[in-house]
Amino acid sequence: MKLEQTLNLVPVKKPKHNNPIVQRRHRLVNNINKQIEAVRKFQLGEKVSRIWWWSNEEGEIFLPIKYGKNDLELAKGKYSIQCQNMNDVEKSLETVKLLASKGQLDELITNISKDIRAKFGKD
């Protein structure tokens, strides 16, 4: 059996430089994965730190999506997802991760990245 018959071979090489949009997307997805793990640990009663979600005095849970230390503006003037419980927080994170991995949040993270870089005086 030949190699070409057993595997799907293509004439593609890894690019020498990563696309900055793809790098930002991967960074966001990795941070969302960390938050999903934090939710699971929290549900098991383990101590967690650097969590994104928070609850108000009435016990409502809110989940901002962060890029760096900045909240993404998910819609005009809307920075958080309201969740019913911790399972809902996890489901919301999974949904946002899917959207991010498909590139649907690229414009948001590109804009916030520009804002962050402007604070440091870089282009």
List Cα–Cα distances, 55 to 49, 64, 112, 122, in angstroms: 15, 11, 25, 36
pLDDT of residue 94: 98
pLDDT tens digits along 37-94: 999 999 999 999 999 999 999 999 999 999 989 999 999 999 999 999 999 999 999 9
- pLDDT grade, residue 122 (50/70/90)? low
Span 16-35, average pLDDT:
93
CA separation (Å) from 45 to 10, 38, 89?
48, 10, 16
- Predicted local confidence at residue 1, as pLDDT: 67
